[in-house]
Amino acid sequence: MITGKQISAARKSLGMTQAKLADKLGVSTEAVSKWEKDVYAPTAENEEKIYRVLGIARTGDNRRDVVLFHERNMSAFLKGKFNSGEFSQSLKALSFAKKMHEGQYRKPKDLKIPYINHPLTMACHALAMGLEDDALLAAVLLHDVCEDCGVEPSELPVDPDVQHVVALVTKPAHGFDERKYYKAISEHPMAAMVKCLDRCNNLSGMAAAFSVERMGDYIEETERYYPVLLDVIKDQPEYNNAAWLLSYHMRSLLLATKRITI
């Protein structure tokens, strides 16, 4: 991740004012000032512009390669947890998901963050909220396998109920209807829980992966469909506490992101 000190030094070396840099980047002078003071970091889109405009060379020290969670540690933690209780489906799902997502990376792909990081983080998030249902955790780990790896739900190494949940959260390759998709999920509490966990994780990392325009679309989609999904899981006794935490997490991220106008 680029630092304020790097931006400031490169700008000054070019004899460029903050106002001039702001003009070239299409942002406010205040934004540049706050970046240089490390009040907050530029979005991934703006960071790319900064590298280009200021001619800053990318190295291992200024790339966005600080990983918040490590897939090896998470995988070991989950495997230990699953081996200690009634988690036979989750154990199979963990192994299968790691195999199927091998070689895939999260966006932006230049960071080389293995895609498996995403379902592993979701599973750890679920366990941290006290959600220890084997079927739910298996569905969480497998939720993107069909959509991203060309696997049919019937091929998943889990029972038909879990296969059905994964099928519900999988977007079809053709003829996708957003309203029908979310309506079907809203009629199945476990699918709604998987989707809410998924959205929380994606909202948390969208600043590094999405353009400002894409972030706006994602926020709009979240505000349109997720209040319904949160209501669905809130009405389930086993999900009630987690529903409150997920709602807080999502709303906080949305509020913070919407207030950042750069």
Residue 61 has a pLDDT of 47
Residue 129 has a pLDDT of 96
Residue 101 has a pLDDT of 97
The domain spans of the chain are 4-54, 71-259
Which amino acid would we find at residue 149?
C
Report the C-alpha gap between 260 and 14 in whole angstroms: 28
Residue 205 has a pLDDT of 85
- Half-sphere exposure of 260 toward its Cβ, with a 13 Å CA cutoff? 22
Q: What is the pLDDT along the chain (262 residues), one digit of tens a residue?
A: 688 899 999 999 999 999 999 999 999 999 999 899 887 778 778 888 999 999 887 765 444 444 556 788 899 899 999 998 899 999 999 999 999 999 999 887 777 789 999 999 999 999 999 999 999 999 999 999 999 999 999 999 999 999 999 999 999 989 999 999 999 999 999 999 999 999 999 998 887 778 888 888 999 999 999 999 999 999 999 999 999 999 999 999 998 887 764 4
Residue 60 has a pLDDT of 52
Report the C-alpha gap between 251 and 222 in whole angstroms: 10
What are the tokens at 240?
């009630």
Report the C-alpha gap between 182 and 85 in whole angstroms: 33
Helix residue spans in 105-188 (DSSP H): 117-128, 134-142, 145-149, 160-169, 178-186
At the top level of CATH, the class of 4-54 is mainly alpha
User: Does the predicted model carry a pTM greater than 0.85?
Assistant: no
Backbone dihedral angles phi then psi of residue 130, each to the nearest 5 degrees: 85, 15
Residue 226 has a pLDDT of 97
**Fold for the domain defined by 71-259:** Hypothetical protein af1432 (1.10.3210)
